[in-house]
Amino acid sequence: MATKDIQNEIDEEMQEADIIAKLMAADPDNVPTMVIPLARLGIPVTLKALTGKQVSRTRDRHTQTIKTKNGPVDKLDSEAFGIALIAASSVKPNWNDAKLLEKFKASSANEVIKRLLLAGEIQLLSDAVLEVSGYNLSLDDVKN
């Protein structure tokens, strides 16, 4: 894929000054995207990569601390987390579009996603968000 082609072009012997120059020229808004077709709805969903900070904040918002006999335990609401990842990452469609909000009697993109998509579609898209954001890379992927 394109990512592997770019990785094969990286000069492992690059000097520190050249690395710093590349980092200084990097555009943090230029992030990878991924298109996932949803066959049931007949639409493509374009997702952009999220930063680690964005994913962490989303995870924190959807984690509750529950008191148990053995002490407090953090519990992630994985459905709400997945929906929030999709909403934050979606380039197309605009889940906050006024027509969608009205049709589904929703007040947010998260509610539209929850009402429109099936559980498996939510899982597919949230997994894709994490993948395009680099969470599913193994060391072998990076080396190749």
Tell me the domains of the chain and their CATH numbers: 2-143 (3.30.2220.30)
**How many other CB atoms are there within 10 angstroms of residue 27's CB atom?**
6
- Which is higher by pLDDT, 97 or 10? 97
Q: Could you read off the pLDDT of 120-138 as tens digits, one per residue?
A: 999 999 999 999 998 876 5
> For position 138, what pLDDT does the model report?
54
- Per-residue pLDDT, averaged over 74-81, amounts to 93
Q: Could you read off the pLDDT of 12-50 as tens digits, one per residue?
A: 888 888 888 888 888 777 889 999 999 999 999 999 999
